[in-house]
Structure 1
Amino acid sequence: MSLDADVILLGGGLANGLIAYRLAMRRPDLKVLVVEGGEALGGNHTWSFHDGDLSTAEQDWVAPLVSARWADYDVRFPGRRRRFATGYASVSSERFREVIAARLGERILTGVPAVAVTPTGVTLADQRTLTARAVIDGRGARKSPHLDLGFQKFLGQEWEFDRPHGVERPVIMDATVPQRDGYRFVYLLPFSPTRLLVEDTYYADRGDLDVETLRGHLADYAAAANWGEGRLVREEHGILPIALGGDIDALIAAAGGMPTVGLAHALFHPTTGYSLPDAVHVADLVSRAPDISPEGLSRLLDAHARNIWSDRSYFRMLNRLLFQAGRPEERYRILEHFHRLPDDLVARFYAARLDFGDKVRILAGKPPVPVLSALRVLAARRPKESA
C-alpha cells in the first residue's frame, strides 16, 4: 500500500511547525505532511526567547522565523527596576506561517480536524484517511492527571498608536501593577515606535480566564501610560502550564506509544512557560533521528522528555515555593528577589541550564517568603514526583 507521507505531523503549532521546517532543511528526502485542524498554521500567538536559550547553530536556522529582535530588556517591580543586557527575540504567527509555508508548499493541510489517530495514520473529520511511516502528535497541552500544575494565563493586545508610545525595549515583567489572582505583571513588546504588544499576565492557581475583565485592566494600564489613541490590530489569549510536580513515566505511558512533542510531553520551561527553546531542541533531535518508525521516534522523544524532566526538578521546587509558600498577592516578592542576581545567572535560569552554584545562590540571602511556610512546602511529600 502506498503511503501519503513518510511523516505526518499532527497539529500545526509551534512544535510540529519547527519539526517540519527543520526536516525540510536537513531531510529533503522525506515526504512530510502537516495536518492542522484549525484554519491556519501557527494559530494566533507570539513566541519569544532569550539569546542564551539557543545555541549559535540553533539561532542561525531559527533566524528567518524571527519577526523582532532587541539587544536588551527591562523588568519592573515595586522595589526594583533593572535592565538586562541579554538579547531577546520574538516570532509572530504571521511570520511563522509565511516562512514555513514557503518551505513546505502544498504539504500543509488545514481546516480539517482529526477524529482518529494511530502511530501510522490519521482519519480526518471529512472521512479521509492518511497513512505514513510515522505520525507525530503535536496538538498542544491537554489535561492530565499525571501533572500537578499552576497556570500562567494572559490576554494580549497588539496596538498601532497614533503617536510614538515611548517603549524602547521589551519589558518582560512589569509587576508594579495591582497584584490580584496570584502574581500579576504586564508584558510589553515594542515592534515599532508606534506598534506595541501589551499583555496582562497572571501566575494563578486556577486555569480560568475572564477576558472582559482583563480587557478592562489593559485599558486602565494604557490610560495610565498615556499612549493616546490607537487601533487594535489583534488580540491573543492563552493559559500555559506551570509545572509543580508530576509523574513523567505515567504521562509518557498515557500516550500509548504515540510519538508526542510539545506541551503534551511536558516540554516547556517549568517556571516561565516558554516553549520555543524546547521546540527548537526537539526539531533538531527529530531531524537527526536514525529511525523514523513510531517505535524509534517514541524511544527518542520519550527518553528526551524523561531527561528534561529530571534535569528540571529544581525549577518545580521553586514553583512550589512561588505558588504555595506565601500569600498570592505577595508572590511577586519571589521574582523581585530573584532579579537581583547577575545577568549571566538570570540568563542561565531562563535557558534552564543552572549549575549547582547557581541553585545555591538563588536560595541564598533573606527569603522573600515566610521561612516556616517555605520549609513546609519543601518538606511536603509529592507522590511519584520524578527527581
Structure 2
Amino acid sequence: MGRRFDIAIVGGGLAGGLAALAIRRAHPSLSLALFEAGDSFGGNHRWSWFESDLSQQGEALLAPFARTEWTGGNEVRFPAHRRVLTANYRSLDSRDFDRTLRRELPQEAQQLGSRVACLDASGIELATGERVEARTVIDCRDAGSSKHLTGGWQVFLGQHLRTASPHGIDRPVIMDATVRQHGAYRFVYLLPMGPDEIFVEDTYYADSAALDAPALRERIAAYAADKGWEATVLHEETGVLPVITGGDFAAYRASLKEPEVVLAGARGGFVHPLTSYTIPVAVENALAIADAAAFPRDELARLVDRRAHEHWRRTGFYRLLGKMLFEAAIPEERYRVFERFYRLGEPLIERFYAARSSALDKMRILSGKPPVPISRAVAALLGKGAPLVQEDRR
C-alpha cells in the first residue's frame, strides 16, 4: 500500500509553506505533506511588507521566521519628489523561510525534491511514478502566463552586496526612480542589511517578460559605483512576475482547476495585481485555509474558490491602475504615475500596498490632474490589453 496523507500541499513556495505551517498549528493531528520540486522551500526570493500589513494572527504565523526589521521608516526618490515616510518595514529571505519550515514541520511533511507530474482530488502522482493518496489536495504551484489574463510584467534582479566601507543608507528605499528609465518604469530598491551590507534590486515594469541578467548586473554595478561603493556580490536573485490588468478570471481558474482540488497561492489568483506584494495576501489566505482544513475537500475547495473570486473583485481598482500604467503612460514616463501617488497621505499608501484601499482612497488617487495623457487614458480604458502569454526568457 502506498503513502497516504490527510492533506497534500503541492508547491513549497510562500503560499504553500505558510499554509502548511498554519494547518500544522491549527490541526496538529492531521497528517500533512508539503511537496516541493526543488531542494529548498521558498525558492530564491525575498519578500517584504510594511509593519501595519498584518493582523495579530498574521504576525503570530510569521513569528518563527527570522526576518530583518527596520524602525526608521522608509524612503522614496523620484526626479521631482523625494520623501521619507514613517511606516516601518520588514523583509524575509527565502533561505530563512526554508530553515524555519524545516524546523517547524514534521520530517515526514518535508517532501523536497519531489516533482509532481499530475494531481487530482484524491492524490498526486510524482515524476517518479509513485502515487500518493490524500484526503485533500491543495495546489500552490507557481503561476504561469495565461491567455485569459492581460497585463505586463515586473522584472527584477537583486544582489546582496558587501561594501568595502559603510554605504550610508540607514532606511529602506522602496523606490529610487531617479535612474535612467530604459523604456520601462525602472527603479532601484535598497534594503540596508548592515553598515557594510545592502540589498540592491533593479526592477522594471516592462511590456516584455524578457530578463537580461548581464545588463541588469551592469546597471547595479554602475549604480553602486555612482554611490561610491566598492562592493562584492554575496547573493543574487531574479524574478519575472505578472502584473495583471484584466481578463476573464473565471476562465483562468477553470483552465487550471481540477474538480475538488483547492487552488490557492499566486496560481489561484491570490496576488496584489499591481505591486506583486504577496506577504499580506499569502498570510491571510493561509490562515483561512487552516481554519477550514478539516472540512470535506469539496467544501474547502469551494470556500477557497469563493475567496479567490472575492479577491479578484476587491482588487479591480489596482488592475485599472495597472492598465493606465501599461497602456496609457509612455514607458519612459511611467514613473510619473508613482511620483504623483507618493505625494498622497501615508495611511492611504499603506492601505494601497496591503490591497485594502477604501472608497475614499480610490477617489483621492483618481482625483486631480492625471499623470498620463487623456487621449491615451481613454484608449487604454477601451482597449483589451496585452495577453499574459509572453515567455520568461533569461
- Report the CA distance between 1:56 and its aligned residue: 2.4
**CA distance in structure 2 between the partners assigned to 1:193 and 1:217 by the alignment:** 22
**2:37·2:113 contact (CA, 8 Å) conserved in 1?**
yes
One of 219, 225, 239 as aligned partner of 1:223: 225
Cα 1:277–1:218, aligned 2, differ >3 Å: closer, same or farther? same
**CA distance in structure 2 between the partners assigned to 1:378 and 1:358 by the alignment:** 20
SS at match of 1:64: coil
**CA distance in structure 2 between the partners assigned to 1:382 and 1:325 by the alignment:** 11
**CA distance in structure 2 between the partners assigned to 1:166 and 1:295 by the alignment:** 54
**1:164·1:193 contact (CA, 8 Å) conserved in 2?**
yes
One of 351, 354, 357 as aligned partner of 1:354: 357
1:49 aligns with 2:49: yes
**CA distance in structure 2 between the partners assigned to 1:322 and 1:183 by the alignment:** 9
**2:7·2:32 contact (CA, 8 Å) conserved in 1?**
yes
* Matched length: 382
One of 246, 266, 271 as aligned partner of 1:268: 271
Moved more, 117-126 or 148-157: 117-126
**CA distance in structure 2 between the partners assigned to 1:248 and 1:3 by the alignment:** 35
**1:181·1:203 contact (CA, 8 Å) conserved in 2?**
no
SS at match of 1:145: strand
1:248-263 equivalence runs, <5 A: 248-254=249-255, 255-257=257-259, 258-263=261-266
**2:245·2:385 contact (CA, 8 Å) conserved in 1?**
no
**2:121·2:258 contact (CA, 8 Å) conserved in 1?**
no
Aligned partner letter, 2:245: L
Which residue does the alignment assign to 1:242?
243
**2:2·2:131 contact (CA, 8 Å) conserved in 1?**
no
**CA distance in structure 2 between the partners assigned to 1:269 and 1:22 by the alignment:** 21
Aligned partner letter, 1:336: E
- Provide runs of 4+ in structure 1 moved above 6 Å: none
Which residue does the alignment assign to 2:315?
312
Which residue does the alignment assign to 1:6?
6
Per-residue CA deviations over 1:107-153 (Å, capped at 9, x if unaligned) read 20111311122122111122222111011111111122211121000
Aligned partner letter, 2:132: L
Unpaired runs of 5+ residues, structure 2, are: 387-394
Moved more, 283-292 or 9-18: 283-292
- Report the CA distance between 1:89 and its aligned residue: 0.5
TM value normalised by structure 2 = 0.93
SS at match of 2:194: coil
SS at match of 1:65: coil
Which residue does the alignment assign to 1:155?
157
- Report the CA distance between 1:11 and its aligned residue: 1.0
- Report the CA distance between 1:225 and its aligned residue: 0.9
- Report the CA distance between 1:195 and its aligned residue: 1.5
**CA distance in structure 1 between the partners assigned to 2:254 and 2:126 by the alignment:** 25
1:203 aligns with 2:223: no
**1:262·1:275 contact (CA, 8 Å) conserved in 2?**
no
1:192 aligns with 2:202: no
Structural RMSD (CA): 1.6
Cα 1:235–1:381, aligned 2, differ >3 Å: closer, same or farther? closer
**CA distance in structure 1 between the partners assigned to 2:83 and 2:372 by the alignment:** 22
1:1-387 equivalence runs, <5 A: 4-71=4-71, 72-106=73-107, 107-228=109-230, 230-254=231-255, 255-257=257-259, 258-289=261-292, 291-380=294-383
**CA distance in structure 2 between the partners assigned to 1:290 and 1:116 by the alignment:** 22
- Report the CA distance between 1:66 and its aligned residue: 4.3
**2:2·2:132 contact (CA, 8 Å) conserved in 1?**
no
**CA distance in structure 2 between the partners assigned to 1:116 and 1:347 by the alignment:** 39
**2:76·2:174 contact (CA, 8 Å) conserved in 1?**
yes
Per-residue CA deviations over 1:291-345 (Å, capped at 9, x if unaligned) read 5433122101110000000011111111111111121001000000000001111
**1:66·1:89 contact (CA, 8 Å) conserved in 2?**
no
Moved more, 160-169 or 85-94: 160-169
**CA distance in structure 2 between the partners assigned to 1:252 and 1:371 by the alignment:** 34
Unpaired runs of 5+ residues, structure 1, are: none
**2:341·2:365 contact (CA, 8 Å) conserved in 1?**
yes
SS at match of 1:152: strand
- Report the CA distance between 1:350 and its aligned residue: 0.8
Which residue does the alignment assign to 2:389?
none
**CA distance in structure 2 between the partners assigned to 1:119 and 1:238 by the alignment:** 31
Per-residue CA deviations over 1:164-207 (Å, capped at 9, x if unaligned) read 11111111100000011310000011111112110000000111
Per-residue CA deviations over 1:215-269 (Å, capped at 9, x if unaligned) read 11111001001112x3321110000111110111112212132311111111111
**CA distance in structure 2 between the partners assigned to 1:215 and 1:292 by the alignment:** 48
**CA distance in structure 2 between the partners assigned to 1:319 and 1:27 by the alignment:** 39
SS at match of 1:347: helix
**1:10·1:136 contact (CA, 8 Å) conserved in 2?**
yes
- Report the CA distance between 1:369 and its aligned residue: 0.9
**2:120·2:258 contact (CA, 8 Å) conserved in 1?**
no
**CA distance in structure 2 between the partners assigned to 1:95 and 1:290 by the alignment:** 26
- Report the CA distance between 1:375 and its aligned residue: 2.4
Identity of aligned residues (%): 41
**CA distance in structure 2 between the partners assigned to 1:279 and 1:179 by the alignment:** 31
Moved more, 6-15 or 101-110: 101-110
Aligned partner letter, 2:347: D
Cα 1:198–1:91, aligned 2, differ >3 Å: closer, same or farther? same
Per-residue CA deviations over 1:339-361 (Å, capped at 9, x if unaligned) read 00011111111111111111111
